[in-house]
Structure 1
Amino acid sequence: MGITLLVTNLDTSIAFYRDMLGFRELDAGEGNAVLASGATRLVLRAVPEVAPINRRLVHLNLEVADVQAAHAELRDKGVRFTYAPRVVNRGERLELWAAAFRDPDGHGIALTQWRERTTT
């Protein structure tokens, strides 16, 4: 999966995605950088005068093996979450757990984990 995000400060965004979220930098050029985590490729493109983002349209979901553990790890690194892990979608057999936060430019990011529903 490849995603491009417009950012106002490339160095700040690279540091956030690399140091806080564990992405590794694959390449960089004039005003852009390519980072990776697993199968996800993230292109950060510097546009210092970019208009404010529409937070309803820009949202990055990062699937993790254990949303509670990932939430705790990032919280301990200083990430401020909009909400802690909770069920955000429930089907007959599966439910989606998520915890959300924002990057330095306000892009919405959610840690997500699909779980089988348990019946009680």
Structure 2
Amino acid sequence: MTYFLDPNLEIGQVKLRVSHLDTSLAFYQEVVGLRVVERTEGTAALAAADSQTPLLLLEQIPNAVKLPRRSAAGLYHFAILLPNRKALGLSLRNLIRSGIHIGSSDHLVSEALYIADPDNNGIEIYADRPRSAWQYEASGHVKMATIPLDGDSLLAEAGDAEWNGLPEGTKIGHIHLHVSDLRETEAFYNGVLGFDIVAKYGDSALFISAGGYHHHIGLNSWAGAGAPLAPSNAAGLDYFTVQFSDAEQLNHTLERLQSKGVAPSQLKDGAWIVHDPSGIAIHLVI
């Protein structure tokens, strides 16, 4: 039977290890605009607007090590996708007010803001342009670039509207990872899981997706060839979730993994866990 990866899959929850939960919660609420929907001793779940579905899970690690950026395989950034350009303009205005350092780029398919949390975890906050406006290379790859963002236009789009945190329709749009070996990683995500390659940047970065999206996962070797996985006592990515549209699609992929010699394990919450060649944990869920 021909295998095709679920075209309607999305990146779901992201779980981070943090050094001080209270500090992180203040940042993710006041600067980013998420809100706490559940909290226990040492952990918290955060969502957007009135949603009860968490986008981000945080766990405090005792005596957590803070790694320098680009020093290990793991998180480069996770990306919060806003439903429209006005929402991105409102976020930009709030980030400016917070005094945090802000990076920005126009990627042609999207407009993006870049910040880092108190543990140096990278965060992208972005809005997509309509798919009808995307352009494609002769290879069929989506055309992306990194050019200056028109921040004044974004702020004008926001107008005088009040910022009330991240709005309804906000979700995790993609995740970008440092990996140990880009060729092995491509063989896993493309050759085993079945993601489509949508763009390449030389021999150092690769972008993959399902269903024609500009990218669900970015992969790069910018932490160096053979970069070790960030240790479990370091602040950073614990796992990210690939969310399938239904049980049939998930089972189809589980069968594909097993046929390729990869044996996922089922967790108590029903998710299936698999590790990529760098050791990064991926949870597969419906």
**Structure-1-length-normalised TM-score:** 0.78
Alignment: residue pair count:
112
2:22 pairs with 1:11: yes
Mapped to 2, the partners of 1:53 and 1:115 lie a distance apart of 34
Question: For 1:55-74, what aligned pairs fall within 5 Å after superposition?
Answer: 55=69, 57-58=74-75, 59-64=77-82, 65-66=84-85, 67-74=88-95
**Structure-2-length-normalised TM-score:** 0.36
2:97 pairs with 1:76: yes
Mapped to 1, the partners of 2:54 and 2:128 lie a distance apart of 18
Q: Give per-residue Cα distances to partners, 1:64-111, cap 9 Å, x unaligned.
A: 222344212221122221x13x223x4xxxx12211010011000011
Mapped to 2, the partners of 1:115 and 1:40 lie a distance apart of 25
Equivalent of residue 106 in structure 1, options 100, 105, 120: 120
SS at match of 1:104: coil
Moved more, 8-17 or 70-79: 70-79
- CA 1:29–1:73 in structure 2 vs 1: closer, same or farther (change >3 Å)? same
Conserved? CA contact 1:5–1:43, under 8 Å: yes
Structure 1 portions without partners, runs of 5+: none
SS at match of 1:18: helix
Aligned to 2:56: 42
Conserved? CA contact 1:71–1:111, under 8 Å: no
CA drift of 1:55 comes to 4.3
Conserved? CA contact 2:37–2:54, under 8 Å: no
Aligned to 1:22: 33
- Of Structure 1 and Structure 2, the greater strand share is in 1
Aligned to 1:32: 43
Structure 2 portions without partners, runs of 5+: 1-11, 136-286
SS at match of 1:79: coil
Mapped to 2, the partners of 1:53 and 1:28 lie a distance apart of 26
Equivalent of residue 87 in structure 1, options 97, 106, 115: 106
